[in-house]
A and B are shown apart, each in its own frame.
Chain A
Amino acid sequence: MTAITHTVSDSLTMLRRDFRHLQRYPVMAISGLIMPVFMMLLFVYVFGGAMLTTVGGGSYVDYLVPGILVMAVGAGSAGTAVNVNVDMTEGVIARFRTMAIARVSVLTGQVVGSMIRTAVSLALVVGVALLIGFRPRATFGDWLLAIAVLLMLTLALTWLAVAGGLAANKPEGANGFSLPFQFLPFISSAFVPTDSMAPGLAWFAQHQPFTPIIDTLRGVLTGTPIGNSGWLAVGWCLLATLGGYFWARKLYNRDPSR
């Protein structure tokens, strides 16, 4: 019983620490917030006109927003991986290891902090999207579903990013680890339908995890067909979360090499 309350209170303490860091060094968080919005504006106003024929009419913003939301989660995970990696070089981590605190709380604090940052970034994207003409047809329940999908994806990518941050020797390596999360959405249904791509690439785009997640979000928000994408999205997220969690825990529990 006390073990569980300690895990929660220790994680909250670590979360507060994470926010203090953010206060002291906000540059990275701010650039992480602006980047997805900038991408959205770029795609709507620069490529949007040309894209419209590919996506088959309607409003390109409506097509684009689910993809940008997923990219925002990917961008957030890059920051998490670097954060974790830099934090592990702080001497205070060695001190935490010699204290009677829930070991995993150092990581859960990071995860919760990252999820809150990503949530803010997602809210910003949706806000700007609505300003520039995004007109979702989602009911209140649909919005809740969309939020649930985004949270699942964020949890999954964040745990993977924490593991990547622990595994990498340097911040550059940690950043490199999260590059796939930032670039895979380009080869998915985020910007154009997958069947408009070259055949080999189209097959990859249809079967990589980001496509069912984006299709689910798009279906929930704008009413396009979802098919079996919903279950695939849940499956991929669950798999990545568990994989990331156990990998991160294993890496954190190994003897520090110094």
Chain B
Amino acid sequence: MTISAFGLRKNFGDHVVLDGIDLAVPQGSVFSLLGPNGAGKTTAVQILSTLITPDGGEARIGGHDLRTDPDGVRSVIGVTGQFSAVDSLLTGEENLLLMADLRHLPRREGRRITAGLLERFDLEEAARKPASTYSGGMRRRLDLAMTLVGGPRVIFLDEPTTGLDPRSRHGLWQIIRELVAAEGVTIFLTTQYLEEADRLADRIAVLDGGKLVAEGTAAELKRMVPGGHVSLRFSDAHALDVAARALGSTNRDDDALTLQVPGDGGVRSLRTLLDELDRAAIEPDGLTVHTPDLDDVFFALTGRPTLEGSPR
């Protein structure tokens, strides 16, 4: 395991932020910690990246013990926090060269890496402008580029796309995917966006109130909740009637002329359903398959409707 943690705890005063967290992230995978604001995601990243010390628990990152060898941990990690960690008075290029110097890379190599990253992150034009003049998306790209200087084996991304517009968000997702595919780095990602975890993560852990309430692949988590159904739409009330009789117990909506049939949306159950409609000599106007998404999972696990917009 590249990242392993047992019983991580952290209190701020009386407030328990992390209440005993166990984590195991294999090398070269993307792990996502999913949870609403205030769930303790950032605290978990701050602990694992040596920024703050836990009140209890153990963790090893890249083979280095967090408590006894923090500098060892620091030598293998890179961190992009949700608060931009760039030097806004320096230019983009100077920021990257600063990182190269602090990673003790030879001058020439530092310049080569900087030029490469500026190109890769589409920052060449702005390279000689102070970071304070950058847009939110540019700052985030520079931030991630700085994290990559020196080739960290483990990268922590704390809500990397929060506050970004959809285009910047998709661009960043693409970069993250390439990192894992091309360089085999391990990524620890926190997010409050279900879609982000769903798209990027090999494994997802759901954090709520300082505790992990579930863990698994996106598919495994979705299987934990019922709620899949097929929705059939008909052209008139008569067809709806016939279909409802043929299919037995269903949810019918007379105004929208739709029927909701419970099912997992798999090919086999769909075929069965369509066969039954055939036998009744009815053809629906339209058909949509609804599979449970992580929203449903989150609701089932925490009793709260959705991640976004949850109270702090």
Main secondary structure of the interface of B (DSSP, over half): loop
Number of interface residues of A (CB under 8 A): 24
Inter-subunit contact A96/B52 (CB<8 Å): no
Main secondary structure of the interface of A (DSSP, over half): helix
| In the complex, B81 has a CB within 8 A of chain A | yes
Task: Known contacts A13-B102, A255-B52; decide if A91 and B83 are in contact (CB<8 Å).
Answer: yes
**Residues of B95-143 contacting chain A, CB below 8 A:** 95, 98, 101-104, 130
For residue A12, give the distance in angstroms from its CB to the closest CB of chain B.
8
Inter-subunit contact B51/A94 (CB<8 Å): yes
Inter-subunit contact A98/B49 (CB<8 Å): yes
| In the complex, A140 has a CB within 8 A of chain B | no
Chain B residue with the shortest CB-CB distance to A103: B71
Chain B residue with the shortest CB-CB distance to A13: B101
Query: Which residues on A sit within 8 Å (CB–CB) of B88?
Result: 90
Task: Known contacts A90-B88, A95-B79, A95-B146; decide if A10 and B102 are in contact (CB<8 Å).
Answer: yes
| Most central of A6, A25, A92, A94 by chain B CB within 10 Å | A92
Inter-subunit contact A99/B85 (CB<8 Å): no
Inter-subunit contact A91/B104 (CB<8 Å): no
Inter-subunit contact A17/B87 (CB<8 Å): yes
Task: Known contacts A25-B89, A95-B85, A100-B71; decide if A17 and B52 are in contact (CB<8 Å).
Answer: no
For residue A116, give the distance in angstroms from its CB to the closest CB of chain B.
18
Total inter-chain residue pairs, C-beta < 8 Å: 62
Contact of A92 among B74, B77, B86, B101 (CB under 8 A): B86
Query: Which residues on B sit within 8 Å (CB–CB) of A255?
Result: 51-53
| In the complex, B50 has a CB within 8 A of chain A | yes
Inter-subunit contact A17/B90 (CB<8 Å): yes
Inter-subunit contact A98/B104 (CB<8 Å): no
Query: Which residues on B sit within 8 Å (CB–CB) of A139?
Result: none
For residue B13, give the distance in angstroms from its CB to the closest CB of chain A.
11
| In the complex, B75 has a CB within 8 A of chain A | yes
Inter-subunit contact A13/B98 (CB<8 Å): yes
Contact with A along B61-81 (1 / 0, CB 8 A): 000000000011011010101
**Residues of A1-57 contacting chain B, CB below 8 A:** 6, 9-10, 13, 16-17, 20-21, 24-25
Complex: how many Å from CA A9 to CA B77? 21
- Interface of A with B (CB < 8 Å)? 6, 9-10, 13, 16-17, 20-21, 24-25, 90-92, 94-101, 255-256, 258
- Interface of B with A (CB < 8 Å)? 49-53, 71-72, 74-75, 77, 79, 81, 83-90, 94-95, 98, 101-104, 130, 146
Closest 6 CB pairs of A and B: A95-B85, A100-B74, A100-B75, A91-B85, A13-B101, A92-B87
